[in-house]
Amino acid sequence: MTQVSAEDMRYLAAAVRDAAAGTTRPALPDDGRAPTDDRLWKVLTEQIGTSGLLVPENEGGSGAGMAALAAVLEELSRTLAAVPVLSTSGMATVLLRVADLPEAGRFLERIANGARASVLWPNMSMPDLRSSMQLSTRSTVSGRFEIVLDGAQCELLLAVAQAEEGQVLVAIEGAADGVVRHMLPSLDLTRGLSMVELDDAQVTPVSSPGVNLTPGLDLALVNIAAEQVGIAANRLDAALDWVKQRVQFDRVIGSFQAVKHSLVDLYMETEMARSALDVAIDASDVFLARPNEQTASALTTAASLAKAICGDAAMRVSDESLHLFGGVGFTWEHDAHLYFRRAKTLEGLLGSPAVHRARLSASLMHRIR
């Protein structure tokens, strides 16, 4: 894994920030079906190389590690950028990184070259990879997935299927026969959701039966937490800017003691979330460098801790900052509701904070036995 210096990380974050700021968010349609910013995606993949950050160098990527990808996801979530980076790099790529067959490298190379991908998670509300979808002897699968992030525009889909010898990770071409995708309205108006139906769709196994895919799930949780930190940080910054400008009773409201106390609480929430994310990023990079049972166990603990703390922080800061904006914050014209929607969606994605606290407790008990 390539070592990325702190200075390089700052340059990367600045480049992504400038790219996101340089595009106009696509108009939000009335039917709730989120658009995609194709121009920004092209800049991110072709000029900045975000799709290859977690792809090893021998497969066409830069092998930069989780810290670099987390920085990208945080910056993009600050602007609610309508690009499938979380589904592609944050979910599909990390699952392919724990797959063990040579075919996984071929799909990683396609992602590094700009292909969009997503994951057909067996249960979007739980951190659980157990799947009832059967892999036939002809390497076809059938199943229905009610919620798939960015599923309508992805060239590549990943899923877990049950083979005779155990569960395997399989890759499915988005345009293959037997793959039907329907755009869905979403609570998060800036991120596309789809329903995907598979009817004897041809697949390519990318992992051996029984290979432990849980670290791939844990890495995805860390990437979700990075987005949640970006939401919290953006809402805190926006609230700070607002209370320095808004005047009531001939004073800026930021001078009121109650407002100061509220902002301090939100700052503490955000920094605690960032600390939990940093621990999870370190555990992720250690696992990717030395994948074994011990580093995988540590990753599970850190990932659930981050998902719980960052999920709470994103919701608390997006909610409380909305109130600090006053009446204008409750209007549709203001972006506050869009950030609240993203925070609420991420909160339940692959497990709520309560679910991950229970998972964290189970992981800690297992480690001390």
Fold of 6-205: Butyryl-CoA Dehydrogenase, subunit A; domain 2 (2.40.110)
Tokens of 220: 């995805």
Which residue, among 193, 231, 239, 252, has the nearest Cα to 314 in the 3D structure?
231
pLDDT exceeds cutoff 80 at 291: yes
- Sequence-ordered list of residues with C-beta below 8 angstroms from that of 186, at least 6 positions apart, any chain: 32, 33, 34, 192, 193, 345
Residues of the chain with CATH 1.20.140.10: 214-368
> Which single residue is written with the structure tokens 């703390």?
309
Task: Calculate mean pLDDT across residues 264-269.
Answer: 95
Amino acid code (one letter) for 7? E
- Sequence-ordered list of residues with C-beta below 8 angstroms from that of 364, at least 6 positions apart, any chain: 301
Q: How would residue 360 be classed by pLDDT, with cut points 50, 70 and 90?
A: very high
The reported pLDDT for the residue numbered 3 is 67
Fold of 214-368: Butyryl-CoA Dehydrogenase, subunit A; domain 3 (1.20.140)
Name which of 77-86, 147-156, 255-264, 315-324 the model is least confident about.
255-264
Share of the chain above pLDDT 70, in %: 96
For residue range 301-323, what is the model confidence (pLDDT) as tens digits?
A: 999 999 999 999 999 999 999 88
pLDDT exceeds cutoff 60 at 32: no
Q: Residue 144: beta bridge partners?
A: 197
> Which single residue is written with the structure tokens 């189970």?
362
CB–CB of 118/150 below 8 Å?
yes
pLDDT exceeds cutoff 70 at 227: yes
Q: Which 3 state secondary structure label does DSSP give 201?
A: strand
Residues of the chain with CATH 2.40.110.10: 6-205
